[in-house]
Amino acid sequence: MHDVDSALDLLCDRDLASGRRVSEAWRGLSGGDARYRASQFDVQRYLWLILPRLVRAGDPVDWRPVVEAFGAFFELTGEPRYAEICRGRWTERVLAAADDLDRCAELAINAMDDSGVLPPEDLDIAWLSEPGPYEAAAFDAIARALESAIEDGQIPLATPATDAMRLVLAVDLLNSTLADEGRRTVAQAMTTERMRYWSRQTPSSALRELLVRTEPDIAAPPRRDLRLDTLAPLRLLLEACGGPGARLTRAGYLPTELVARLVEALPDELASAGGGRSEAGWPPVMRLRDLAERCELLEPDGGRLRLTYLGEDALIDELALFGALISRLIGMADPTHRQHVLETVFTMMLLEARVDRAALDRRITVVLAEYGWERVSDPDSDPDSDPVGDLADEVPALRAETLADLRILGALADGADAADDDGRPVGVNDFGRELVVASMRARVMQGWWWG
């Protein structure tokens, strides 16, 4: 078996052009680190993502000698599995389609998924193209751990249990403690790193201050003793929409029998906020349904309200429901300005037990203005022909909607009546604080929505 340098020298002696190409590829993968050891993901990334871009640019014109030389390199250095990947079916298919960008990308994604070494999608992490050192190390560690488990037969591919086993391994690694850093976990370090990235790149100095001040709360480990009984009404709604779904009335409302059950399940202060038999007469029920649809747990379909795939998964247990909710609460807010409203309200509520509503409005107005919003009701309208209120006039309604969502989830502290909006300071209870923290943590990990 050859070491890296002697293997590269031998390849250059056989075919100088291909040998140099492999040398360049290896320098790119290793970053010049003599201690670098190839991983399956790195090999696949070069073959299925990097090399096709080079082929499209005409350098090299023919990918076959390069792939053959790369395979020979791994045979010489004692990595026959990687040599097989170089000469395998997926590599041939991806590179044969290199000139068709869309088809090549589709094949590369399918090939990566088929290999099983990518961090699972169910982690709900949008991995950054230019990650910080903790994130880069976490991605590499997960990819290498999956590769090892698959190679050893601990995780068989293409079975009903494959994805669950991959997820367990990845979560265990993220929850492992870092060496020489006390009790801080990989996930905590990655969250802190991303919080600092977010605070640096946001155009809003007002939001930046909030992110910096709440970083310790958001990066803290999740609570394990949280009571989730306030989610019972939401769970009841999801359960009622299982199977064929809940048949909607001709006007598109929930069936009256389900409305009655939901009203009975709501807390007393919400159950009294309405009347009659129809969903239209019960604003809290309408809010609960609207929230479930916005979080992609439910969707109307052919006169019925049905569970989405995410909604089905959310019914596994209470923690699954909580996880599905927090993963979508901010990121699925539409349009974009609502995400910034949620970020502002949530971080302010982490800083004080009770927050003055006027203070919330002022901070939201500043954050939206710093993001470039002059108005949100119709930002593209001509103010001369279609008068609308300015941003400060619109913010109270946006803030009230956010508080109403927290209220329907049982997250507001006693006396914080978001429905009446009578000017009293507002805060979150014990459950609400963890909901806010977990939602912000999910937002940090789902970083593709930052803008």
Query: What pLDDT digit, counting tens, does each position of 219-237 carry?
Result: 998 888 888 999 999 999 9
| Tally of structural domains, the chain | 4
**9: in domain:** yes
- Residue 351 pLDDT greater than 60, yes or no: yes
Q: What is the pLDDT of residue 183?
A: 83
pLDDT band at 367 (very low <50, low <70, confident <90, very high): very high
Mean local confidence (pLDDT), 426-451: 88
Last residue of a domain, one of 296, 328, 360: 328
Contact 70, 45 (CB under 8 A): no
**Whole-number Å distance between alpha carbons of 246 and 307:** 9
In whole angstroms, what is the distance from residue 301 CA to residue 134 CA? 43
Q: What is the pLDDT of residue 102?
A: 96
* Domain end call among 310, 328, 346: 328
Q: Which amino acid is at 360?
A: L
59-73 tens-digit pLDDT? 888 999 999 999 999
Q: Please tell me the distance from the alpha carbon of residue 121 to that of residue 113, in angstroms, as a whole number.
A: 10
Q: Would residue 171 count as lying in a domain?
A: yes
Tell me: do 60 and 133 sit in the same domain: no
| Residues 312-332, mean pLDDT to the nearest whole number | 94
Residue 219 is assigned to a structural domain of this protein: no
Taking 50 as the threshold, does the pLDDT of residue 451 lie above it?
no
pLDDT of 424: 86
Q: Domain holding 291: CATH number?
A: 1.10.10.10
- Mean pLDDT to the nearest integer, 257-272: 92
Judge whether 215 lies within some domain: no
Q: Which residues of 145-183 are buried (b: 16+ CB within 10 A; e: fewer)?
A: bbbebbeeeebeeeeeeeeebbeebbeebbeeeeeeeee
Phi and psi for 306 in degrees, rounded to 5?
-120, 160
* Residue 408 placed within a domain: yes
Looking at the fold, whether 351 and 406 belong to one and the same domain comes out as yes
Q: Are residues 87 and 51 in the same domain?
A: yes
The residue segments making up the domain with residue 186 are 121-203
Q: What is the pLDDT of residues 134-153, one digit of tens each?
A: 999 999 999 999 999 999 99
- Give yes or no: residues 445 and 340 share one domain: yes
State the CATH number of the domain containing residue 431. Answer: 1.10.10
Share of the chain above pLDDT 70, in %: 94
pTM of the model: 0.89
Confidence of residue 335 (pLDDT cuts 50, 70, 90): confident
Q: Does residue 432 share a domain with residue 407?
A: yes
Are 37 and 69 members of one domain?
A: yes
Residue 221 maps to a domain: no
Task: Round to whole Å and give the CA distance between 73 and 7.
Answer: 6
The DSSP symbol for 120 reads P
Residues 154-203 pLDDT 10s: 999 999 999 999 999 999 999 999 876 678 999 999 999 999 999 999 99
- pLDDT score, position 386: 43
**At which of 312, 328, 344 does a domain end?**
328
Query: Could you give the percent of the chain with pLDDT greater than 90?
Result: 80
**Best CA proximity match to 178, nearest among 170, 189, 192, 191:** 189
**Residue 211 falls inside a structural domain:** no
Note whether residue 57 is domain-resident.
yes
**What pLDDT sits at residue 225?**
85
Which tokens hold the place of 171? 């979560």
Assess whether 196 and 155 both reside in one domain: yes
